[in-house]
Amino acid sequence: MLPSDLLITRIKKDRIYPDFAQLTAEHLELAAELIDVYKNLTGKKKSEIDELLEELEQGLNFKRVRGLRTLLERRCTFRSKFIIEPVLARRAVFEIASESKVTNREERAEVIESVANNLTIPAEDLEQSLWADQESEVILENFEPLSPEALLKWYNLALAQTLLFKSTGMTIAVKGKAPEIFRAIKYFGLMYLQEGRDRIRVEGASSLLKLSEKYGTSLAKLLPSIVRSESWQIDAEIVIRRDTPRIYHFILDSRDRNLLLSEELASEAAKTTFDSSIEKRFYNEFLSLPVAKSWELIREPDVIFTKKGVFIPDFKFRHKELEIETYFEIVGFWTDSYIKRKLAKLRALPFTMLVAIDKNLACFNAAQFDLGLDQPVILYSKKVPIGDVVRYLAEIEQEAITKQVEQLKETKIELEGDIVLIKEIAQKYAMSQDAIRASVTHPDYVVFKDVIVRKELLGEVKEKLLSINKYVEARRVIEAMRSPNVDEVLTHLGFAVKWKGLDPNETRIALQ
């Protein structure tokens, strides 16, 4: 968003239009010139930068220039540069100056020199420190450049957001589920009404009994998520409070995306966000566990339409090999009305999902409060018991594997060659590797974790190993079988590994 005094609009009949910067040579040249100022003046005072930019404003639309400057300064890092803390420096100078009754430059210079001597620093360093914390004196330490086109698109988006702050409400029409829009509505805590599958009504700050700046800002922050969606249109009612307040329509659709969305900046917004520290902690902890190798964890994955409204689960687990997935909802904040709406949506779901509920919340009493859910429920306190979640996933995984094993009973799995990779068989039969391992019972083969090996070949390998006592040499023999599970094969063939320290070259094998 931009400061409201930098908003530029046009009005025609009952419509209001932000005065977007077009991607023309004129505007691109202006953007490039402003970017170069910040890029080339690193290390200079802000007052020096402002002076140069004010000269640049001459003959131009100053609101446009200052709007672009406002955005560029958000990519700047300014620092105060001083030897002595400015507040302390001023106090020391003013104490002596008040005693001496300074009335001219010469007397001021004498005071500065005296204080500098007392502080054992040069007078120049004291002068620099005196007002170093004032906005005009801060130094441009770093600037994150961007392209002129990206700056103009960012400016147009900020202009539209600023206009939306004055909205009494907005109707959003979308094609498809548009999950990012619903996630953003949920994240920013906006009041909305689902009007069919393709229309959403969002209330604006100006429609509230008391204008809420925070709410208005949240509504404006929704716009980037709308713009990034595939196909959309917004129709917002904008209140213009002049002599007589009047409502105008601000209409925008996905055909305007090219003026608003920069790929250069879009990636900066694509970051995982969380509604609470509980969710964030669970997410990070799950990804650090071995189970994450089998299950992909997706944050707020889908928009689910139910008879009780739109529902966006917190997470979805998707198995990386089996064709199974399940949702997970963490209920960690509620009021009576909130929990009633949440439970109504959970009961209306057409599938089973795991639900974690904070048992310490005021309105929950395990003895009296009936959830009325057919969904599996985990109760937690302070953090989600991740072990319970892992066990739930393991049950689902085992059920899926058991079904596949049942299907494979009617299938004869063909094995060819001395060594067969289980991964290749699984791909051939469109089954999981676990189901293949459980289903292969050929009398001439032995099933290991990753490979299936003909017994005749294993006998030859054992003969070679009998003449070897070094572990590293045994590894080379077994790895030639394309099996990464060396110890598993050694154990099957009756060999034990005798480690001497951590050096594999000193490790031996021996027949048990």
pLDDT digits (tens, 9 = 90+) for 367-406: 344 555 667 888 888 889 999 999 999 999 999 999 999 9
pLDDT tens digit string along 29-78?
A: 999 999 999 988 888 888 888 888 888 888 888 899 999 999 998 898 87
Q: Distance between CA atoms of 65 and 277, rounded to whole angstroms?
A: 40
pLDDT of residue 17: 93
Q: Distance between CA atoms of 270 and 187, rounded to whole angstroms?
A: 14
Query: 214-245 b/e with 16+ CB inside 10 Å = b?
Result: ebbebbbbbbbbbbbbeebbbebbbbeeeeee
pLDDT of residue 31: 93
Task: Select from 447, 454, 462, 449 the least CA-distant residue to 493.
Answer: 462
pLDDT of residue 126: 76
pLDDT tens digit string along 257-315?
A: 889 987 766 655 555 566 678 888 899 899 989 899 899 998 877 777 667 666 778 89
218-244 average pLDDT score: 85
Q: Distance between CA atoms of 476 and 470, rounded to whole angstroms?
A: 10
| Rg of the chain on CA atoms, in Å | 34
Residue 205 has pLDDT above 70, yes or no: no
Q: Distance between CA atoms of 166 and 454, rounded to whole angstroms?
A: 75
Q: Distance between CA atoms of 82 and 132, rounded to whole angstroms?
A: 6
Q: Could you give the dihedral angle defined by the CA atoms of residues 238, 209, 201 and 157, in that order, rounded to the nearest 10 degrees?
A: 40
8-28 average pLDDT score: 93
Task: Select from 487, 492, 509, 489 the least CA-distant residue to 500.
Answer: 509
pLDDT of residue 23: 92
Q: Name the range with the highest mean pLDDT among 109-118, 155-164, 201-210.
A: 155-164
Residue 203 has pLDDT above 50, yes or no: yes
* pTM of the predicted structure, to 2 decimals: 0.55
pLDDT tens digit string along 415-444?
A: 888 888 888 898 888 889 899 989 988 889
What's the DSSP call for residue 10? E
Q: Distance between CA atoms of 213 and 191, rounded to whole angstroms?
A: 15
CA 323 → CA 190, 316, 404, 405, distances in Å?
35, 13, 11, 14
pLDDT of residue 504: 75
Task: Select from 83, 90, 132 the least CA-distant residue to 111.
Answer: 90
Q: Distance between CA atoms of 252 and 200, rounded to whole angstroms?
A: 15
Taking residue 268's Cβ as centre, other Cβ atoms within 10 Å add up to 10
Helix (H, G, I), strand (E, B) or coil at 143: strand
Task: Select from 326, 331, 270, 267 the least CA-distant residue to 298.
Answer: 326
- Sign of the torsion formed by the C-alpha atoms of 336, 341, 344 and 350: negative
Q: What is the mean pLDDT of the chain?
A: 81
> 277-398 — its CATH code?
3.40.1350
pLDDT of residue 124: 75
Taking residue 177's Cβ as centre, other Cβ atoms within 10 Å add up to 17
Taking residue 159's Cβ as centre, other Cβ atoms within 10 Å add up to 23
Task: Select from 248, 231, 266 the least CA-distant residue to 170.
Answer: 248
Least confident span in 318-322, 366-370, 456-460: 366-370
pLDDT of residue 309: 64
pLDDT of residue 368: 40
Task: Select from 388, 392, 390, 402 the least CA-distant residue to 432.
Answer: 402
pLDDT of residue 392: 93
99-107 average pLDDT score: 69
Task: Write out the two tokens for 6.
Answer: 């930098």
pLDDT of residue 125: 72
Q: Distance between CA atoms of 173 and 34, rounded to whole angstroms?
A: 37
Helix (H, G, I), strand (E, B) or coil at 146: coil
Q: How much of the chain is helix, strand and coil, in % rounded to 5? A: 45, 20, 35
Q: Helix 62-73 to helix 46-57 angle, to the nearest 10 degrees?
A: 150
Residue pair 55/289 in contact by the 8 Å Cβ criterion:
no
Least confident span in 213-217, 261-265, 479-483, 492-496: 213-217
Residue 398, Cα to own-chain centre: how many angstroms?
32
Residue 264, Cα to own-chain centre: how many angstroms?
16
Task: Write out the two tokens for 357.
Answer: 């509920």
HEC readout, 161-211:
HHHHCCEEEEEEEECCCCHHHHHHHHHCCCCEEECCCCEEEEECHHHCCCC
Beta bridge partners of 91: none
Q: Distance between CA atoms of 428 and 423, rounded to whole angstroms?
A: 9
